[in-house]
């Protein structure tokens, strides 16, 4: 009997995405956007809830598994610093791209000057480096899980993974428990991922149906500027890093990450995209131990798309306030946007909240955020897509760097 060939997941996601755009557009034109919000989006919400429920065990167990498979603590340190170096450099470059493009658009008079909004927003003050540092260390194990505080979950995974390695033979039972639990969570994740076309379709239909009007509105050029930034960053930085450091052709890379990019685009959540990113990274050749370490960390702290967005919108909002940014203010933006993107959670809309921090450092009234609030989802889709692409490219580069240092070691 001939076996029926089923469509691959990336193909299913692509079809769902296109179908979502079409249905959303029809609903928008027919003036029944509410239908998508009331009857389609809830299915997307169910799907995202499932992903959120699985993300803490996935991050915790996959990081511990990753650390255990490295075999010794020196290896953890070696992967750790390479990952952090990649994250910091690419985020700083993303900020510069965002600033250059924002300034070009601004100087060409392409940014609209909009009247101040009426709504008031709460400022997210930068609490200071030391406070952020202290906040990373949990005082209560369960509370960290309960609040899904990803930085704390990562610290817990690092400590437990490290301690199990240090305990040697005596931790055998613990290792088996972790590996058995991870196998179960991995299966569960597989089931949930198979539902992703439903999530993609329903969310896309809802976004297009409800945001259609704004796409054509006054913010189209600001959106365009951010999307050019995302595009330039992907083409220049990710293409060249995977080519130079990981030896992968950009075409293969973008084909391989397409499913995760589409998923990130529609879900607007790096954390929720994590299972798909993992699959894509491993198919492209990332070591399991590296991707298990780099991807959860990246989904929590590496946000290049968010950094570009924060720089572009900071320049746009400064224009609306009537400010002309000086060079030193631009440098301030690079520093605060890099820190703000690290502090941004991998969930929908969190980049907007962290933008308040950048604005308050520049003395731009935070209420001006109301100007972009309505269309933030559209910025968010693109920036999340970039955020996860950056994580996957990092996992590939670090894999290759590790292989090279092992070869050097063995030589």
What is the tally of helices (H) and strands (E) in the chain? Answer: 19, 0
Burial (CB < 10 A; 0-12, 13-18, 19+), residue 14, is middle
- In the complex, what is the shortest distance from the CB of residue 361 to ligand ASP, in angstroms, rounded to a whole number? 18
Q: Nearest residue to ligand ASP, using CB?
A: 351
According to the binding rule CB under 6 A, does residue 65 interact with ligand ASP?
A: no
According to the binding rule CB under 6 A, does residue 270 interact with ligand ASP?
A: yes
Alpha helices in 195-349 (DSSP H): 196-215, 220-232, 239-244, 250-267, 270-283, 288-301, 304-321, 327-343
| Range 341-380, binding ligand ASP (CB under 6 A) | 344, 346-351, 380
Q: Which of these segments, 61-69, 214-222, 263-271, 401-409, binds ligand ASP (CB under 6 A)?
A: 263-271
Among the listed residues 83, 91, 306, 319, the single contact to ligand ASP using CB under 6 A:
306
Binding mask 308-347 for ligand ASP (x = CB under 6 A): ------------------------------------x-xx
Dihedral (C-alpha) 268, 269, 272, 277: value to the nearest 10 degrees? 90
Output 112 or 349, the one with its CB closest to ligand ASP: 349
- In the complex, what is the shortest distance from the CB of residue 404 to ligand ASP, in angstroms, rounded to a whole number? 30
Contacts of 245 (CB under 8 A, 6+ apart): 396, 397, 400, 401
- In the complex, what is the shortest distance from the CB of residue 391 to ligand ASP, in angstroms, rounded to a whole number? 9
Q: What angle do CA 99, 100, 106 make, to 5 degrees?
A: 85
| Range 130-189, binding ligand ASP (CB under 6 A) | none
According to the binding rule CB under 6 A, does residue 91 interact with ligand ASP?
A: no
Output 66 or 305, the one with its CB closest to ligand ASP: 305
Is residue 301 within 8 A of residue 152, CB to CB? The reply is: no
According to the binding rule CB under 6 A, does residue 384 interact with ligand ASP?
A: yes
According to the binding rule CB under 6 A, does residue 269 interact with ligand ASP?
A: yes
- In the complex, what is the shortest distance from the CB of residue 164 to ligand ASP, in angstroms, rounded to a whole number? 30
Output 290 or 388, the one with its CB closest to ligand ASP: 388
**Sign, Cα dihedral of 21, 26, 29, 34:** negative
Among the listed residues 278, 377, 383, 400, the single contact to ligand ASP using CB under 6 A:
383
Output 70 or 303, the one with its CB closest to ligand ASP: 303
Both tokens of 348, joined, read 């929908």
Output 161 or 229, the one with its CB closest to ligand ASP: 229
Distance CA 365, CA 385 (A): 29
Alpha helices in 344-375 (DSSP H): 350-361, 370-373
DSSP class of residue 238 equals: I
Output 275 or 346, the one with its CB closest to ligand ASP: 346
Output 44 or 161, the one with its CB closest to ligand ASP: 44
Q: What angle do CA 127, 128, 129 make, to 5 degrees?
A: 130
| Range 216-245, binding ligand ASP (CB under 6 A) | none
- In the complex, what is the shortest distance from the CB of residue 299 to ligand ASP, in angstroms, rounded to a whole number? 7
- In the complex, what is the shortest distance from the CB of residue 392 to ligand ASP, in angstroms, rounded to a whole number? 13
Is residue 347 within 8 A of residue 337, CB to CB? The reply is: no
Output 48 or 303, the one with its CB closest to ligand ASP: 303
Output 13 or 352, the one with its CB closest to ligand ASP: 352
Distance CA 291, CA 293 (A): 5
- CA nearest neighbour of 398 among 56, 75, 74, 160: 75
Distance CA 28, CA 174 (A): 54
Output 144 or 337, the one with its CB closest to ligand ASP: 337
Q: Cα–chain-centroid distance for residue 301? A: 8
> How many residues at the interface with ligand ASP, by CB under 6 A?
16
Binding site for ligand ASP (CB under 6 A): 268-270, 303, 306, 344, 346-351, 380, 383-384, 387
């Amino acid at each position: 009997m001939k076996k029926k060939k089923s469509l691959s997941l990336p193909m299913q996601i692509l079809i769902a995405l296109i179908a979502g755009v079409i249905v959303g557009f029809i609903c928008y034109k027919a003036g029944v956007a509410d239908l998508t919000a009331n009857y389609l989006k809830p299915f997307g919400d169910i799907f995202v809830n499932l992903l959120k429920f699985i993300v803490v065990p996935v991050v915790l167990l996959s990081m511990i598994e990753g650390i255990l498979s490295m075999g010794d603590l020196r290896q953890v340190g070696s992967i750790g610093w390479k990952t952090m170096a990649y994250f910091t450099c690419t985020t700083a470059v993303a900020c510069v791209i965002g600033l250059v493009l924002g300034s070009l658009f601004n100087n060409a008079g392409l940014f609209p000057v909009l009247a101040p909004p009426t709504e008031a927003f709460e400022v997210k003050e930068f609490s200071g480096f030391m406070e952020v540092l202290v906040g990373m260390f949990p005082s209560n194990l369960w509370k960290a899980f309960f609040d899904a505080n990803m930085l704390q979950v990562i610290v817990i995974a690092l400590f437990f993974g490290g301690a199990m390695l240090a305990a040697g033979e005596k931790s055998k039972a613990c290792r088996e428990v972790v590996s058995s639990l991870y196998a179960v969570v991995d299966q569960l994740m597989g089931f949930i991922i198979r539902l992703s076309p439903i999530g993609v379709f329903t969310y896309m239909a809802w976004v297009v149906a409800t945001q259609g009007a704004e796409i054509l509105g006054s913010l189209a050029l600001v959106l365009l500027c951010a999307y050019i930034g995302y595009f330039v960053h992907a083409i220049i930085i990710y293409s060249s890093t995977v080519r130079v450091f990981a030896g992968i052709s950009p075409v293969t890379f973008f084909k391989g990450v397409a499913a995760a990019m589409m998923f990130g685009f529609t879900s607007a959540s790096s954390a929720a995209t994590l299972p798909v990113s993992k699959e894509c990274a491993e198919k492209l050749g990332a070591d399991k131990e590296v991707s298990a370490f780099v991807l959860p960390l990246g989904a929590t702290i590496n946000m290049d798309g968010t950094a570009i967005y924060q720089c572009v919108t900071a320049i746009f909002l400064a224009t609306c306030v009537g400010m002309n940014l000086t060079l030193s203010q631009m440098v301030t933006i690079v520093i605060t946007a890099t820190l703000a993107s690290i502090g941004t959670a991998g969930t929908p809309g969190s980049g907007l909240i962290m933008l308040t921090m950048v604005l308050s450092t520049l003395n731009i009234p935070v209420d001006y955020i109301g100007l972009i609030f309505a269309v933030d989802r559209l910025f968010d889709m693109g920036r999340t897509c970039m955020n996860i692409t950056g994580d996957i490219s990092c996992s590939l580069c670090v894999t290759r760097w590790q292989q090279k240092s092992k070869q050097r070691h063995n030589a």
